[in-house]
Amino acid sequence: MINELLDVFNALTTMQLVVLGVAVFIWLLRFLYLLFFPLRVVLNKRLSNAESGNASLSLLMVVRNEEENCRETLPRLLDLESPDMEVVVVDDFSQDNTLSVLGVLKQRYPRLKISSLSQETRYSEKLSQNIALKSAEKDWVVLYPVNAKHPASEWLNNLSIKNDESVNVKLAYTTVVEEKKRFNKFYRIENFFQQIRSAAYSLNGLAFVYNEDNVAFRKAEYFRLGGFGTKVQEPYANLELVINRFIKKRNVELCLNEECTIKKEVSVGRTEFMDLMRKSIRIEKHLSKFKRFVLQLDRLTQTLYPLLIALAALLVFNLWPVLLGLIVVKLLVFMLIIKILQKRLNERKLFITSLVFSLIMPFYKLFFRWHFNRKSKNQKWKNTV
């Protein structure tokens, strides 16, 4: 068998050798990425969070026209047995009875603090978040979505930090409740891959977040940087823009398990799925040059990998056992990592779809990213005219 393979190699033309060499090199890059990025998330010792803190947190919430969700969600949070926790809600100029509901709840729960914007304002969500942060009394804060389903009983304790001055950020997982709709599944898969990528990059010294919800951080870091600053006009992204300025490998901790997970009860369609991808593009735009370079290299190799493997198989068909072996090894490692992480996060019904999604979406995202950036540039040009 070895002699036959050597004979095949000796018979290859220069072009065939180049294509084969490039295909194997890209395979190696993708395989090393699996070992040093997603696999590190699986093996990270802090994921179990065996030593939880004392739940000294301010839960921040920005609401607009959410009277029903406030009526259902806030009592669940405020009834949690955690005396060193408070809930800060800012009403973003609601037109329904949200503010009245908050007033009634305030009478029942002293730990509830409320504030509001008195008029319609541009970039009101960021301004509301700023008000909430200024009102928070605890050193640690976490943004909690008003449409979140009841979290696990130990969610609050798992999310808090136990006397570790080196940690400034703690990442936990957020998703949406499962529905039997196509874009709901697409959204959950894209969201899953985004947050795993964020965690993997964070463990490799390239820390950043795609999602502001369910991320605990030190309030002092926000004010040290002057809040949103010039980024107040940035569309799609909010607190992620500030967190990404102070999050580092040495000060981030992961809490990627079912006990730390929050699920939002929200209907997800095509618009929400597209907005999720648009948001990731805008967030990446504000990362450091080196982080953007690594992300671009990641996307490029992910897109080239199936094309080059297919081209190599066509040009050097006699070496199909070698190429098939490489494909199978990488696929098995990828499947194992995805299976473990989705089981840990209780996203078990996404496994098969995730495999197909990971193969097709890089090509769609390539076009989507180009189209979105082109549209953004045209819009910016029109606004300056």
User: Tens of pLDDT along 312-352?
Assistant: 999 888 888 889 999 999 999 999 999 999 999 998 789 99
DSSP assignment, residue 250? G
Structure tokens, 209: 């977040």
Contact present, 72 and 150 (Cβ < 8 Å) = no
Provide the pLDDT confidence category of residue 199 given band limits of 50, 70 and 90: very high
Q: How far apart are CA 198 and CA 175, in angstroms?
A: 14
38: nearest Cα among 363, 339, 293, 310: 339
pLDDT at 10 over 70: no
Cα separation of 109 and 230, whole Å?
36
**Distance between CA atoms of 84 and 13, rounded to whole angstroms?**
71
Confidence of residue 1 (pLDDT cuts 50, 70, 90): low
Question: Could you report the per-residue pLDDT of 59-97, keeping only the tens digit for each?
Answer: 999 999 999 999 999 998 898 877 788 999 999 989 999
Q: What is the mean pLDDT of residues 233-241?
A: 92
Q: Are 17 and 176 in contact (CB under 8 A)?
A: no
Query: Fold for domain 57-138?
Result: Spore Coat Polysaccharide Biosynthesis Protein SpsA; Chain A (3.90.550)
- Kindly state the average pLDDT of the residues 167-188: 93
Give domain limits for the chain. 1-52+165-377, 57-138
